[in-house]
């Protein structure tokens, strides 16, 4: 994986003090020259800015160890780190910037400032995708800077309390935004009944926005689950997506 370039590596043993009153982001890892591994833009060359903290605690989360170990970086520090690489050039050429977590919406104020300051400094805004667990309402200012919403509401099998994971008013709002997709992690056949009962029948989201993705923390698990999910997607006339980073790099993070 010589082509993946790291700006900030995940390091649970590293602790950085909070910066005074300057705007900052708590960043778990930051890397580029890789691809979007999931969702509607699977395969797209991309940079990943993974922020710390999440609103959920899914039992199968494969990035928990990473997003729990972030550190505060001022916007200026982030830009200086970026300036020492060719990331800005790659973003200008069309690499997508994926804001992921954890929960990007937990730091949407900082991310708004980051994207605005980016535009001021470099004269353009990168094509921006946001991974979103759909439990926090986006500010209009932040939403205006997002090009694609990769929403991923959690089903009951995630182990999160219903009140914490299922927010109908937020789902309905997210579905009304342009370029909003809803990617569901599928573990069992009965997951479709839950999608139909809790998301489609109440009219919160539309069928054309749905993407089904198999649970797959490693290649073995992904390969075990994917045929069932492909069959479900065909039967229900919705999209299927794999987890291409697992196919390529198995359990390795930071790629
Ligand atoms: S919402 Fe995403 S990042 Fe948060 S615990 Fe669940 S899988 Fe992990």
Distance separating alpha carbons of residues 28 and 52, to the nearest angstrom: 5
Residue 152 Cα to ligand 1 middle (Å) = 9
Residue 245 is assigned to a structural domain of this protein: no
Distance separating alpha carbons of residues 35 and 48, to the nearest angstrom: 9
Which residue's alpha carbon is nearest to atom 3 within ligand 1?
A: 102
Residue 237 is assigned to a structural domain of this protein: no
Q: CA-based angle 52:225:181, to the nearest 5?
A: 50
From first to last of its 255 residues, what are the pLDDT tens digits of the chain?
678 999 999 999 999 999 989 999 999 999 999 999 999 999 999 999 999 999 999 999 999 999 999 999 999 999 999 999 999 999 999 999 999 999 999 999 999 999 999 999 999 999 999 999 999 999 999 999 999 999 999 999 999 999 999 999 999 999 999 899 999 999 999 999 999 999 999 999 999 999 999 999 999 999 999 999 999 999 999 999 999 999 999 988 788
Distance separating alpha carbons of residues 61 and 13, to the nearest angstrom: 21
Cα distances (angstroms) measured from residue 155 to each of 97, 165, 241: 27, 8, 17
Q: CA-based angle 227:228:231, to the nearest 5?
A: 85
> Which atom of ligand 1 has the smallest separation from the CA of 102?
3
Residue 189 is assigned to a structural domain of this protein: no
Residue 133 is assigned to a structural domain of this protein: yes
Residue whose C-alpha is closest to residue 205's, from 236, 163, 157, 169: 169
Structural domain range at position 113: 5-9+21-183
Cα distances (angstroms) measured from residue 124 to each of 12, 108, 121: 33, 19, 8
> Which atom of ligand 1 has the smallest separation from the CA of 55?
4
Distance separating alpha carbons of residues 60 and 215, to the nearest angstrom: 8
Cα distances (angstroms) measured from residue 221 to each of 38, 216, 241: 16, 5, 15
Cα dihedral 60/180/123/93 (nearest 10): 70
CATH number at residue 43: 3.20.20.70
Residue 207 is assigned to a structural domain of this protein: no
Helix (H, G, I), strand (E, B) or coil at 59: coil
Residue 134 is assigned to a structural domain of this protein: yes
Structural domain total, the chain = 1
Q: Measuring from each residue's beta carbon to the nearest atom of ligand 1, which residues come in under 6 Å?
A: 54, 56-58, 61, 63-64, 67, 101-102, 133
Distance separating alpha carbons of residues 183 and 132, to the nearest angstrom: 10
């Amino acid at each position: 994986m010589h082509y993946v370039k790291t700006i900030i590596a995940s390091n649970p043993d590293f602790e950085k003090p909070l910066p005074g009153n300057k705007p900052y982001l708590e960043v778990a890892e930051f890397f580029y020259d890789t691809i979007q591994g999931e969702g509607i833009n699977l395969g797209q060359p991309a940079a990943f800015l993974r922020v710390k903290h999440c609103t959920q605690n899914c039992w199968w989360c494969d990035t928990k160890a990473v997003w729990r170990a972030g550190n505060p970086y001022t916007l200026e520090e982030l830009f200086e780190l970026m300036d020492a690489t060719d990331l800005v050039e790659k973003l200008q050429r069309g690499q997508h910037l994926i804001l992921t977590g954890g929960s990007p919406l937990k730091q949407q104020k900082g991310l708004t400032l980051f994207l605005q300051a980016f535009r001021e400094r470099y004269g353009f805004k990168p094509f921006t995708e946001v991974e979103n667990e759909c439990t926090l309402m986006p500010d209009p200012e932040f939403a205006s800077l997002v090009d694609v919403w990769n929403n991923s509401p959690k089903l009951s099998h995630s182990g999160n309390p219903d009140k914490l994971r299922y927010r109908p008013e937020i789902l309905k709002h997210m579905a009304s935004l342009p370029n909003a997709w809803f990617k569901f992690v599928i573990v069992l056949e009965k997951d479709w009944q839950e999608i139909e009962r809790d998301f489609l029948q109440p009219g919160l989201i539309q069928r054309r926005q749905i993407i089904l993705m198999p649970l797959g923390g490693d290649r073995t698990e992904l390969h075990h689950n994917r045929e069932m999910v492909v069959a479900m997607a065909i039967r229900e006339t919705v999209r299927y997506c794999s987890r291409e980073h697992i196919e390529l790099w198995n359990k390795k993070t930071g790629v």
